Structure 1
């Protein structure tokens, strides 16, 4: 979105390094693919591999903790560390909602309200502490903690909201994806045409890309009799993992080229 990029994470002027990426076209592409893969990979591990929700949740939560330790250790934006954490937190966010629904019998309506409240509380505490919710200035460990907690709740909320519309209201995966895509489009128009706040526009779009990606992930992977295209979770997850990896390589090369230009003083 317009005016939502920020300075290089390796600023030559000695200013604090931002720990999250520029908001660019490739950012939104990889974000959408990451949330799509989060949905299909969680289903693959829990169902196709027969691990079950509980074992899958514990395993992926442990791997996520390791990935977040690696991310926090960077003290700046490093593409592989950041996007590895995003993919894993997408999977864990899906599993959190699935556990509430399948293991504890919590209705999707309640899950959606619960995670909406937790996300709003996180934003409230973040703003009270830092006086900003901007991702342009994630310079400190405390701000990064708030950032990743908000990301987790956006994924859990998006999973609940997407399943609520697609399954509970029985609108199907394609219709659900188109609905959330249309809302994101409306937010973009409001941002460009009516100058709504950039931070608000970013977080609204970020939240809604989760149910958008999850809906299309289910559309591709689920069997025909359940309203999907029957590609399966293995193939769908593999395709998106390869695409994510390619974009991360591109991002890394672009960041290295920019750092080289700064070092040369160009």
Structure 2
């Protein structure tokens, strides 16, 4: 929802949700999946050490993001990538170290996300991303994003591995769900805020499924491209697109009101 009267220069996140936003979001979710695997297995950090290191880095980056006085594309998307990695690691720790079934993780993170949205709306009166210009709203925003990434990891793994659909088919299913949400928004006037957050949640398992499909061995249902190559290519694409947004400012015109609903 567009919040009239709000100068877009005050908003701490992308003001106008463009196609670039969704492309970078999917790329970031893929990097979250493959990047975590790269640190754990290729660099042999292991799950506990990787989780601790990424948790500290995320705290530093989010602190920097929160302290920033405006939306900075590079800083914002670094934070999203880090949340993606940490969200993946949270689910992996629950599954691999604590033995929590993916079904339980999926339900638990769904409940936590619903509670976060409920509290956010109860306190602030809106879930619109065009109103993220106070500390409290920004904290709600990043908490919701963290839970969407953890939920997406659990749901993606549940579909691809536990249910046995495989990575490619899972990606197609999640892509079809996003297409339905998009159709409902443009053709049937689905509420913009609801459409945004539904799509945001589903792009996480979509990106995770794509990442696993590209990086996993052929024997495991992937293409065998490996985590190194997949992560490098997707990071390069993110850097290029974020560079374009920084120069063009197409997603955050500084002196005008936000014109698009989420």
TM-score, normalisation: structure 2? 0.93
SS in 1 for 2:249: helix
Q: Distance in 2 between matches of 1:257 and 1:54?
A: 37
SS in 2 for 1:75: coil
Q: Which has the higher contact order (CA 8 A, sep 6+)?
A: 2
Relative to structure 1, is the Cα distance of residues 261 and 203 closer, same or farther in structure 2, using a 3 angstrom cutoff?
A: closer
Q: Distance in 2 between matches of 1:178 and 1:116?
A: 21
1:74 to partner: Cα distance: 1.1
1:260 to partner: Cα distance: 9.0
Q: 1:169-208 to 2 correspondence within 5 Å? A: 169-208=163-202
The equivalent position to 1:236 in structure 2, one of 227, 230, 234, is 230
| Matched residues, number | 254
Gaps in structure 2 of 5+ consecutive residues: 257-262
Q: Distance in 2 between matches of 1:257 and 1:221?
A: 31
Query: Does the alignment pair 1:45 with 2:39?
Result: yes
Query: Does the alignment pair 1:128 with 2:118?
Result: no
Q: Distance in 1 between matches of 2:217 and 2:59?
A: 33
Query: Does the alignment pair 1:163 with 2:152?
Result: no
1:139 to partner: Cα distance: 1.1
- Judge conservation of contact 2:2–2:128 (CA < 8 Å) in 1: no
Provide the residue aligned with 2:87 in structure 1. 93
Provide the residue aligned with 1:19 in structure 2. 12
- Judge conservation of contact 1:5–1:24 (CA < 8 Å) in 2: no
1:9 to partner: Cα distance: 3.6
Query: Does the alignment pair 1:250 with 2:244?
Result: yes
CA deviations on 1:21-46 (whole Å, 9 max, x unpaired) are: 02101111100100011000001111
- Judge conservation of contact 1:155–1:210 (CA < 8 Å) in 2: yes
SS in 1 for 2:158: helix
Provide the residue aligned with 1:145 in structure 2. 139
Relative to structure 1, is the Cα distance of residues 4 and 27 closer, same or farther in structure 2, using a 3 angstrom cutoff?
A: farther
Q: Distance in 2 between matches of 1:29 and 1:61?
A: 25
Provide the residue aligned with 1:14 in structure 2. none
